């Protein structure tokens, strides 16, 4: 039942994302093909779903969140393209398909990532065509910029890359990586949805707490799946953390504690969500599902 609803909503979200893809291309067709290939390769569309459903949780009914949904997925996709590059994780498969550098070559993959990052902001900024001077949109843009940069995802990835080469990381640094590399965009998704709906300080604080728990549980579950899942299920190679000699939550805490922590964080996130006077049953189910997911 929830899975059917999720499928329908994911398809709707995909339509929104695709509607913002670049058109009217000239000689730069190849980079745009690589960008579109990467965006259309699939994925859970989790971040745009979180924007939309958090927006709806706080009573949002307009289309102001749409450019942000597309922008977020473009920025997320850029991060995956660059993460898969030989200079970073050197992965050949992503979302069940050859990675962008395998399909288009390394130089074009770098450019496709750059293109998507910039185009993500062009897309988010297009909100002002319909909503000039909208203050919620301004705040959402500032939040998006900070979360994807050195104080967010890029910062987390930096520490991850540095420690990759040694295989040694302190728990403090691992927490920092999880907080920023994966956590920042998930937090931004829920925060932006809430901002655009005009949520107040108290609600924003609560949503941030929920999103932090969801982000951490999501990353720990990713580590667990890397150990327990199959390539078919994940659409990318399993055992890559082990192959890359990478310390993860699972290596620090052990698989049983990791599973227990995912469950605890998920329960706490749902309890916090239930404590709000606003309700969105789908968002509640989505949080539980994400953490129990197998891909
Ligand atoms: C290159 C600046 C830069 C950052 C890369 C997101 C990221 C940062 C790296 C991905 C590495 C990774 C496996 C992180 C763990 C969790 C995660 C973010 C997985 C990918 O996100 P999903 O599961 O992917 O939402 P789909 O394909 O469903 O969109």
Pocket test for ligand 1, best of 87, 154, 222, 234 (most atoms within 8 A of CB): 222
**Residues whose CB falls within 8 Å of the CB of residue 292, separated by 6 or more in sequence, listed in order:** 266
Distance CA 70, CA 121 (A): 10
Pocket test for ligand 1, best of 178, 182, 224 (most atoms within 8 A of CB): 182
- Determine which residue's CA is closest to atom 20 belonging to ligand 1: 80
Distance CA 95, CA 250 (A): 23
Q: How far is the CA of 83 from the centre of ligand 1 (A)?
A: 8
Q: Sketch the domain layout of the chain as residue ranges.
A: 2-290
Atom of ligand 1 nearest to the CA of 81: 1
Tens place of pLDDT per residue across the chain (295 aa):
999 999 999 999 999 999 999 999 999 999 999 999 999 998 999 999 999 999 999 999 999 999 999 999 999 999 999 999 999 999 999 999 999 999 999 999 999 999 999 999 999 999 999 999 999 999 999 999 999 999 999 999 999 999 877 778 898 999 999 999 999 999 999 999 999 999 999 999 999 999 999 999 999 999 999 998 888 777 777 777 777 778 889 988 999 999 999 999 999 999 999 999 999 999 999 999 987 787 7
With a 6 Å cutoff on the Cβ, whether 100 touches ligand 1 is no
pTM of the full structure: 0.95
Q: Which two tokens stand for residue 169?
A: 């990381």
Q: Please name the CATH architecture into which domain 2-290 falls.
A: Orthogonal Bundle (1.10)
Q: How far is the CA of 79 from the centre of ligand 1 (A)?
A: 7
| pLDDT for the residue numbered 225 | 93
With a 6 Å cutoff on the Cβ, whether 44 touches ligand 1 is yes
The total of other beta-carbon atoms located within 10 Å of residue 168's CB is 9
- Determine which residue's CA is closest to atom 16 belonging to ligand 1: 219
Q: How far is the CA of 191 from the centre of ligand 1 (A)?
A: 19
| pLDDT for the residue numbered 295 | 76
Beta bridge partners of 94: 97
Distance CA 113, CA 84 (A): 11
Atom of ligand 1 nearest to the CA of 148: 2
Is the sign of the CA dihedral 140, 141, 142, 145 positive or negative?
positive
| pLDDT for the residue numbered 238 | 79
- Determine which residue's CA is closest to atom 3 belonging to ligand 1: 79
With a 6 Å cutoff on the Cβ, whether 222 touches ligand 1 is yes
* Burial bucket for residue 19 (CB in 10 Å: 0-12, 13-18, 19+): exposed
Q: How far is the CA of 185 from the centre of ligand 1 (A)?
A: 10
User: Hey, which bits of the chain come out as E strands?
Assistant: 93-94, 97-98
């Amino acid at each position: 039942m929830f899975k059917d609803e999720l499928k329908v909503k994911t398809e709707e979200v995909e339509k929104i994302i695709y509607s913002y893809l670049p058109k009217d291309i000239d000689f730069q067709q190849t980079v745009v093909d690589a960008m579109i290939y990467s965006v259309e390769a699939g994925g859970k569309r989790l971040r745009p779903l979180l924007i939309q459903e958090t927006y709806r949780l706080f009573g949002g009914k307009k289309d102001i969140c749409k450019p942000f949904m597309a922008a977020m997925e473009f920025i997320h996709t850029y991060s995956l393209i660059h993460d898969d590059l030989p200079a970073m994780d050197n992965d050949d498969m992503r979302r069940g398909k050859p990675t962008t550098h395998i399909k288009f070559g390394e130089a074009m993959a770098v450019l496709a990532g750059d293109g998507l990052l910039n185009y993500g902001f062009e897309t988010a900024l297009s909100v002002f065509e319909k909503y000039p001077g909208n203050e919620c949109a301004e705040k959402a843009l500032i939040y998006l910029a900070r979360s994807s940069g050195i104080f967010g995802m890029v910062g987390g990835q930096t520490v991850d890359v540095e420690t990759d080469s040694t295989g040694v990381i302190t728990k403090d640094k691992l927490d920092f990586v999880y907080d920023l590399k994966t956590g920042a965009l998930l937090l931004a998704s829920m925060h932006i949805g809430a901002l655009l709906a005009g949520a107040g300080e108290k609600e924003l604080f609560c949503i941030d707490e929920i999103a932090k728990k969801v982000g951490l549980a999501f990353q720990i579950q990713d580590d667990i799946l890397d150990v327990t899942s199959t390539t078919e299920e994940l659409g990318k190679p399993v055992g890559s953390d082990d192959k890359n000699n990478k310390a993860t939550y699972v290596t620090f805490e052990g698989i049983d504690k990791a599973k227990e922590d995912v469950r605890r964080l998920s329960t706490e996130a749902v309890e916090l969500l239930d404590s709000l006077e606003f309700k969105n049953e789908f968002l509640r189910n989505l949080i539980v599902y994400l953490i129990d997911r197998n891909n």
